[in-house]
Amino acid sequence: MALVVQKYGGSSVESAERIRRVAERIVETKKAGNDVVVVVSAMGDTTDELLDLASQVCPSPPARELDMLLTSGERISSALVAMAISSLGAQARSFTGSQAGVITTSAHGKAKIIDVTPGRVRAALDQGSIVLVAGFQGVSQDSKDVTTLGRGGSDTTAVALAAALDADVCEIYSDVDGVYTADPRIAPNAQKLDRVSFEEMLEMAACGTKVLGLRCVEYARRYHVKVHVRSSYTDNQGTYVYGSMEDIPVEEAILTGVAHDRSEAKVTVVGLSDQPGYAARVFRAVADADINIDMVLQNISKVETGKTDITFTLPKTDGPLAVEKLTKLQEEIGFSNIVYDDHIGKVSLVGAGMKSHPGVTATFCEALAEAGINIDLISTSEIRISVLCRDTELDEAVRALHEAFDLGGDEEAVVHAGTGR
Whichever of 143 and 419 has its CB closer to its own copies, that residue is 143
Report the residue number, 148 or 313, with the smaller CB distance to its own copies. 148
Give the number of other CB atoms < 10 A from CB of residue 144: 9
Nearer to its own copies, 120 or 390 (CB): 120
How far lies 133's CA from each of 39, 124, 232, 375, 384, in Å? 5, 12, 18, 45, 35
* Pairing label, strands 227-231, 169-174: parallel
Cα angle 309-315-64, degrees, rounded to a multiple of 5: 130
Nearer to its own copies, 42 or 241 (CB): 42
Cβ neighbours of residue 396 closer than 8 Å, sequence gap 6 or more: 371, 373
Taking the complex as a whole, the smallest distance from the CB of residue 56 to its own copies amounts, in Å, to 4
Q: Where are the alpha helices (DSSP H) in 208-291?
A: 214-223, 278-288
User: Least Å distance between CB 35 and its own copies?
Assistant: 19
Closest CB 124 distance from its own copies, rounded Å: 11
Q: Are 104 and 143 in contact (CB under 8 A)?
A: no
Report the nearest approach of its own copies to the CB of residue 19 (Å): 5
CB of 76 to its own copies, least distance (A): 5
Residue 65 or 142 with smaller CB distance to its own copies = 65
- Distance (Å, whole) CA 200 – CA 219: 14
**Which lies closer to its own copies via its Cβ, residue 87 or residue 275?**
87
Rounded to the nearest 10°, the torsion over CA 26, 27, 32, 34 is 60
CB of 8 to its own copies, least distance (A): 14
Site residues, its own copies (CB under 8 A): 16, 19-20, 23, 50, 53-54, 56-62, 64-66, 68-69, 71-72, 75-76, 78-84, 86-87, 92-94, 99, 120, 144
**How many Cα atoms within 13 Å fall on the side-chain side of residue 372?**
3
Nearer to its own copies (CB atom), residue 56 or residue 392: 56
Residue 302, SS3? strand
**Backbone phi, psi, residue 373, to 5°:** -100, 125
Q: Under a CB-based contact definition with an 8 Å cutoff, are residues 380 and 348 in contact?
A: no
User: 127 or 419: whose CB is closer to its own copies?
Assistant: 127
Give the neighbor-by-neighbor strand order of the sheet with 307-315.
296-298, 307-315, 264-273, 337-341
Torsion of CA 128, 132, 138, 141, to 10 degrees: -10
CB of 123 to its own copies, least distance (A): 11
For its own copies, give the closer residue by CB, 139 or 204: 139
Closest approach of its own copies to the CB of residue 99, in Å: 8
Task: Find the shortest distance in angstroms from Cβ 410 to its own copies.
Answer: 42
One-letter amino acid for residue 125 of the chain: L
Measured distance CA(321)–CA(319) in Å, rounded: 5
